Structure 1
Amino acid sequence: MENRKKILLWRWIFFLAGLMVMSLGISMTIKGQRLGISPWDVLHVGLYRNFGLTIGTWGILTGLIIVLTTAAVMKQWPKIGTWINMVLLGLFIDLFNWLLPEFSTLWGQTIIYVIGVVVLSYGVGIYVSPNMGAGPRDSLMLILAKKWGISIKVIRTGIEVLAGIIGWLLGGPVGVGTVLIALLSGQIIQIALPQCQKLLLRIIKEEDQQVLLK
């Protein structure tokens, strides 16, 4: 019983820490927004420009649509972590946007943007590794990768490109940074996820990866 409590505790620690790391990475890319915003944010801005509401509201609504769609396809209700993700991610992003300084030069924005892409990708790897419930978009990525037998990097890149194209058609802003995130984030997550899973298993002193599925 004690061992199970320890495993559950560490899984939650990884989940929450991963959300914070991912939020930090997203905020870093926002600070370098002169290069362009992420594909999903291109979509949210495009929807905002065409149908009103707010960008944040569209982020929540698209996430909710994805959650309900994947739940219907998988015939399984999302884990509580998925809902927690939807709430905490926005709060953490606002916090880091307030804490991080502004970068006025192009070089400064470029550096913070590139580092941010790596940080947010590893954040995804950290919070997904304990299997407490991925966020709406990452849940879709994992489901499609498993269902079609395609690597995470290919699925992630495909989803990001599709979201970016739809957002661009709706009038959302696209820049070189948009392409950078779409092409690189899936590649980095493909490397980060197994590394984070191995680290978690080492901390809880387990060798069987199935322990993360319980």
Structure 2
Amino acid sequence: MRKILIWRWTFFLVGMMVLSLGISMTIKGQKLGIAPWDVLHVGLYKNFGLTIGTWGIISGFIIIISTAAVLKEWPQIGTWLNMILIGLFIDLFNWLLPDITSMGAQILMFSVGVIVMGYGVGIYISPNIGAGPRDSLMLVFVKKTGASVKKVRTTLEVIVALIGWLFGGPIGIGTVLIALFLGQIAHYTLPQCRKFLLKVIGEEEEDALF
């Protein structure tokens, strides 16, 4: 059981790090636009200072408190860690990755970043430790409205991206591409990561995971 716990948390933490790296790569290639929630965080950073990761943490905290009030239940510890660590990792990678100016390099950085994000999502979700704050918000709206996950997610991301754009966040074709294809990439990476995790801990332990 201890082995399972160690591997679950390892996948969870590594997944958040990989996801944050992908997000930072798309931010460095932001001439194409960035993910809807990151549009908001960059817009807030441009207007009010702090850091992009800090705004990610602040918005995540507000979402967690709001969803907890609506659902009348406290989120899993993984949700809190997701909120804090992804913000910290984004700031770390934004500092480590070089700024790039040429369009070709930005396209390459952005494209690789989206794939890295897709694998980060697959890795951190595979151990089933806790959804991120924004996924929790989406599930609340699905529960309250009865609308499909796809419809709720798209609506939320459009609203958030527009608010971020009003604050000066970078919207572009890349924003649309991430909204359309990140879920599709995760659709393939999540089963791969779950399969690898089960292989590491022993497939007979599947019930203990899921």
TM-score (norm 2): 0.84
Q: How many residues align?
A: 208
Alignment of 1:176-187 (within 5 A): 176-187=173-184
In structure 2, do the counterparts of structure 1 residues 13 and 142 end up closer, same or farther at CA, with 3 Å as the change threshold?
farther
CA distance in 1, matches of 2:169, 2:21: 23
Counterparts of residues 1-214 of structure 1 (less than 5 Å): 4-47=1-44, 52=48, 54=50, 56=52, 57-141=54-138, 150=148, 156-207=153-204, 209-213=206-210
Structure-1 separation of matches of 2:87 and 2:113 = 16
Q: Structure 2 vs 1, CA of residues 10 and 208 (structure 1 numbering), >3 Å: closer, same or farther? A: closer
The CA deviation string for residues 136-169 of structure 1, in whole angstroms up to 9 with x for no partner, is 1133346666885846x66544432332123234
Residue identity in the other structure for 1:14:
F
How far does residue 69 in structure 1 lie from its aligned partner after superposition?
2.3
Contact 1:18 1:123 in 2 (8 A): yes
The structure-2 alpha-carbon separation of the partners of 1:41 and 1:72, relative to structure 1 and needing over 3 Å to count, comes to same
Task: Give the aligned CA root-mean-square deviation in angstroms.
Answer: 2.7
Shift of 1:115: 1.0
Question: CA 1:49–1:111 in structure 2 vs 1: closer, same or farther (change >3 Å)?
Answer: closer
Cα distance in 1 for partners of 2:142, 2:181 equals: 17
TM-score norm. by structure 1 comes to 0.82
1:172/1:100 CA distance change after superposition, 3 Å: closer
Gaps of 5+ in 1: none
User: In 1, distance between residues paired with 2:51 and 2:27?
Assistant: 14
Q: Is the 8 A contact 1:67 1:136 kept in 2?
A: yes
Give the aligned residue type for 2:57: I
Amino acid at match of 2:30: Q
Compared CA separation, residues 122 and 141, structure 1 to 2 (3 A): farther
| Cα contact 2:35–2:179 (8 A) shared by 1 | yes
Structure 2: stretches of 5+ with no match in the other structure? none
SS of the residue corresponding to residue 77 of structure 1 reads: coil
| SS of residue matched to 1:104 | coil
CA distance in 2, matches of 1:133, 1:189: 16
